Structure 1
């Protein structure tokens, strides 16, 4: 996989990682929660906080 070059690419990469971590480590594992936080950061960079609420 090539590294993401923009915020949207980073958000999608973290989303893929998050799915794997939830299955392997569980939803409450600290690494899973850190990945969720990182995905949220890049999601907001790419689409803004309004995208969180579907606005």
Structure 2
């Protein structure tokens, strides 16, 4: 009985670790996408300014 409890608690802890890692990776992907969008917006803003001054 005690062995079953230990195995069940270890499985539950492993499950939470996997969920935490997956959540962290998803958050990292969101941060990378956000940074890329900000960079693209900054580049396009600089590009628009440059084009406007060329006219």
Q: TM-score per shorter chain, which class?
A: 0.3 to 0.5
The structure with the largest alpha-carbon Rg is 2
Structure with more relative contact order (C-alpha pairs < 8 Å, separation 6 or more): 1
TM-score normalised according to structure 1 size? 0.35
